[in-house]
Structure 1
Amino acid sequence: MNQRLDNCLAPAKLNLFLHVVGRRADGYHLLQTVFQLLDHGDLLHFETRADGLIRRVTDVPGVPESSDLIVRAATLLRSAAAERMDASRLGADIAIDKRLPMGGGLGGGSSDAATTLMALNHLWQTGFSRQELMALGLQLGADVPFFIFGRNAFAEGVGEELAPVDTPRDWYVVIEPGISVPTPQIFCSPELTRDSKPIRITDFPSAPRNSAATNSRRFGKNDLQEVAAKLFPQIDECITWLGRFGDARMTGSGACVFCAFDDEQQADQALQAVRTAGRENWKAWKASAIERHPLSHLLQIEH
């Protein structure tokens, strides 16, 4: 009998800060950041098949099924499972309610891939541990291991060196400015500084208390923001506008901009202001910080 998992959240992430501290010989940039999970993201639905077919049953404009990270993640998991079991009949129909924008800096595709690995590892009973799934996920993208790691994290290296960190239980307003930012264009810019001073995890003022929230919001900066804002004036416009409510900054390589608030009421007030601002290309929403990935309980090895 086919098995199902419905309404599996692939949560968005924010980079509360993002420092570029160097560059490796192979061209990859060395980063330091704090990843924050949100209770908003894409929703995925899985139904197993016994004929070995892996299908994305939802159309995603601009993303061919064969190149979708969802399908690639499922195929990679099945290939890895073939080394320990008969995986020839492992298949799945995967549907997605796509709510996160592409090129937004929210980790949408990486989060979709991570949710796929965790959900199908459970449904197919392939038995991979969290660490094994993280290693598989790294083959798909640098951010995928974070989502499988399953909790807010201080990240280093190219984003794969992760340590758990406590973050304030803030509410966030996020603005999508209606553009997509190609990450390589930002990292390849000659104007990008790559020499931020490395910090330690203890330098980040993390604590699930409002007393620490203000300090953590003002901590560091996003080294990619200045470059992205020059290349895409829409980002600079969002930062300036949302900055009326607090420390607005860009997440990841853009294009989305966010601002943190102590409580939901403050977030609602800012959200209402965005929606009445008359910016036709802007899409805004609110979300709360969460501590763990909603599918973490499906994995055998917990933090």
Structure 2
Amino acid sequence: MAEEQTIASTSNTDGDDYAWVADEPRTTVSKFSLNGGEGMFRTIERSPANDWRACIPNTTRRICSKYQWGSFPMYQIAFEHMGYRLPFSDFEVAVFRYLHLTPSQLHPNSLAFIRAFEMTAAYLGFMPTIPLFFHAFHLQRSRPKGDAANKFGWVSLKQSVKLFEMFMESVRGFKDSYYFVKPLNSVSWQSVIYQGPAKDATGVPLVGPDGRQVLEDYSRFPLSWRRSHYQKPASDFIYSADELSVEELSNYEQMKVFVGGFPRKSYEDEQGNPVLDGTGVPVTKKTFIDTRRLLACKSVAEMEAFFRMLVIFCFNFIVLYV
């Protein structure tokens, strides 16, 4: 990482110019705006809370639009299939804040990686950190070709050492399945908004006529699509091994050893039979954490059972074949 990242969150005074956004996210209308919300997945928070509402955008709004202060757009796939719930965890907020991105600026496969990494760290007994995560994952930015080369689309995360399978090799149908989420009370409001000192254009805190510091609302992470992320090279967001603490290096090694201990998978033909090489030996491939199955876990107990099965299967494989 070349330098300390600046605060991603800003007040509600930003402009609304989205000419820099790639055509697809800038022009795609939400299907829920057109069908009255048919098929909307509305479970966006943990039961029994009633602090948030999934709202249908009007037909002039886009995924990259700025919504009412405190609200922000989300792709439905994050809630319906990836297990995201509001409020976001501290780690999720930290990732969005560090990247200067609102969640919908990240490709869905990358949103899946964030949760999968956090869940795996929890199972292995260590805290995920920004330096560790951005040592394990690098950035990949989508850029349109041709005349639109100066526009920006979704940002993706790419593993430096593969530990996780992609949630889906090709995520289809997500681009028009979005809505915005709105805080309904002080609890949900404070999970995305906080008050801090208002500052002038030079960064100097403002003081009112009474001598008291002027306060202003700030978001804990970007609530709309931001160009500021792209004003830094992707390499600025990455941590080298030299920048990690001893504990972080140890935790990353623990994760690699854990995944490296999984038994190899056999390739199968269309009938489900193992594919053999020229000598009759099954052709195999490395096994990684199944991100999609992991994110399907609906509780800590299910997550622990998922990982235990991997460990048990690995142990049985060793007993049978060593």
The normalised TM-score by structure 2 is 0.21
Higher Rg of the two aligned structures: 2
More strand by share: 1
